[in-house]
Structures are given as structure tokens and as C-alpha cells.
């Protein structure tokens, strides 16, 4: 790097001689350098943009599907059964694991259906009343049919069904929270 260190400065110091050709040569070089800088700058900003856009292009918050049990467990299901599921909520670099109670039941067509146990009225856990064959909320007396349809009480809608899927003979459910006190189902984050 210091190859010039020992050399004396009798080497060619050409100050820019005035005149138009040199000026235009200089400005042409300027444009070239400007374009080059824009190009290299653009190239360098590619990783920066990809880095910053990561949460937009990929899922960074995710509610994982939770296993409820083997399908065979529910083949002879008549009454709703309560199952505790573990839900894993991924949020960027952290995750939260919590437990929630859900009911596995059948809809009017006899298909398996999973209901959240959270009352759509004010959020109490709704127990299954075996004697009456109905869901009866202890807090404010909302009553629901075995498939979750609203029968009576202050709730404005029936119990909320959850999105289910089946993989390798396992019943999976995606747990969600729904807005309370409204007649139409509305998922909240």
C-alpha cells in the first residue's frame, strides 16, 4: 500500500487544464460514477430490503394446529366430550403454550365437530350437562344444544366451532378466539 512512500513527487502532477473537452469528459465520468453508485447501492440494498420485509413475506405469527386425539377415539361418540388441547402460538422469536378446553361433538349431519368451551356471551367455560343433554353456562344461564346451537339464554349466537383437519388418523384443531356479545362470529387475533 505504501509503494509511493519513498518515491519523490517529481512524478507528473497534471492539474486539470481548462477547456471544454476536459469539462465534458469529467461530467461524463460523473454520470458514469453516479449510475455505478446507484447500481451498486441498489445491489447492496437487496439484502437489507429482504431482511426488513421478512415478516411480510413469511409467516412470523402462527397458531399451530393442536392434536385433539385419534379419530378412532371418537367413532362411537354420542355425547360431547371435553378434551384439553395444548395450543402453541408462535410470535416472531417467541412462542406461548397454553391449554384450552374444547368439546368434540357431532353436527346435525353426524360429522365430527370441535367447539371451543368459551361461552360466546361473556367468556365463561361452558360445562356439558349430561342429565339434560345440553350445554349450560353457569355464569349467566346460556343453554346450547349438543351440536352447539343456541337454545336459550343471553348469548347472541351458538357455541363457536373450530377449524379442524385430519392427519394420519389424528383429529387436529386450530384454536381461535371469537368476539363475545355479537350475533355473528368474528375471529379475534
**Which residue from 81, 112, 124, 143 is in contact with another protein, where contact means CB under 8 A?**
124
Q: What are phi and psi of 67, to 5 degrees?
A: -70, 135
**Which residue from 24, 98, 129, 149 is in contact with another protein, where contact means CB under 8 A?**
98
Please state, in angstroms and rounded to a whole number, the distance separating the CA atoms of residues 121 and 157. 8
- Under the criterion CB under 8 A, does residue 52 sit at the interface with another protein? yes
**Which residue from 26, 141, 165, 166 is in contact with another protein, where contact means CB under 8 A?**
26
Select from 41-49, 143-151, 153-161, 168-176 the region that touches another protein (CB under 8 A).
41-49
Point out which residues pair with 188 in neighbouring strands.
Answer: 177
- Under the criterion CB under 8 A, does residue 188 sit at the interface with another protein? no
- Name the nearest CA neighbour of 117 among 156, 160, 85: 160
Question: In which region does residue 111 sit, left (phi positive, over 0), alpha (psi from -120 to 50) or beta (all else)?
Answer: beta
Please state, in angstroms and rounded to a whole number, the distance separating the CA atoms of residues 15 and 10. 14
- Under the criterion CB under 8 A, does residue 40 sit at the interface with another protein? yes
- Under the criterion CB under 8 A, does residue 51 sit at the interface with another protein? yes
Query: How near is the Cβ of 2 to another protein at its closest, in Å?
Result: 6
Select from 8-16, 65-73, 102-110, 168-176 the region that touches another protein (CB under 8 A).
8-16
- Under the criterion CB under 8 A, does residue 122 sit at the interface with another protein? yes
**Which residue from 4, 59, 130, 167 is in contact with another protein, where contact means CB under 8 A?**
4
Q: Which of residues 55-94 bind another protein (CB under 8 A)?
A: 57-58, 90-94
- Under the criterion CB under 8 A, does residue 101 sit at the interface with another protein? yes
C-alpha cell at 8: 519523490
185, 157 Cβ separation under 8 angstroms: yes
What stretch of H or E contains 31?
helix 20-57
Using only C-alpha atoms, the chain has a radius of gyration, in whole angstroms, of: 34
Please state, in angstroms and rounded to a whole number, the distance separating the CA atoms of residues 106 and 116. 13
Please state, in angstroms and rounded to a whole number, the distance separating the CA atoms of residues 38 and 155. 62
Chain residues in the site for another protein (CB under 8 A): 1-9, 11-16, 26, 29-30, 33, 40, 44, 46-48, 50-54, 57-58, 90-99, 101, 118, 122-125, 127, 138-139
Amino acid at each position: 500500500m505504501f509503494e509511493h512512500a519513498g518515491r519523490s513527487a517529481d512524478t507528473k502532477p497534471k492539474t486539470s487544464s481548462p477547456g471544454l473537452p476536459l469539462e465534458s469528459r469529467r461530467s461524463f465520468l460523473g454520470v458514469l460514477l453516479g449510475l455505478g453508485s446507484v447500481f451498486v447501492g441498489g445491489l447492496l440494498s437487496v439484502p437489507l430490503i429482504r431482511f426488513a420485509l421478512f415478516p411480510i413475506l413469511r409467516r412470523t405469527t402462527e397458531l399451530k394446529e393442536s392434536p385433539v386425539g385419534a379419530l378412532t377415539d371418537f367413532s362411537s361418540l354420542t355425547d360431547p366430550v371435553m378434551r384439553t388441547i395444548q395450543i402453541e402460538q408462535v410470535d416472531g422469536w417467541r412462542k406461548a403454550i397454553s391449554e384450552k378446553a374444547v368439546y368434540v361433538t357431532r353436527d346435525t349431519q353426524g360429522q365430527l365437530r370441535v367447539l371451543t368451551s368459551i361461552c360466546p356471551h361473556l367468556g365463561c367455560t361452558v360445562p356439558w350437562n349430561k342429565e339434560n343433554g345440553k350445554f349450560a353456562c353457569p355464569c349467566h344461564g346460556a343453554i346450547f344444544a349438543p351440536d352447539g346451537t343456541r337454545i336459550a339464554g343471553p348469548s347472541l349466537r351458538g357455541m363457536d366451532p373450530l377449524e379442524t383437519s385430519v392427519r394420519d388418523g389424528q383429529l387436529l384443531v386450530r384454536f381461535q378466539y371469537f368476539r363475545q356479545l355479537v350475533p355473528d362470529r368474528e375471529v379475534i387475533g
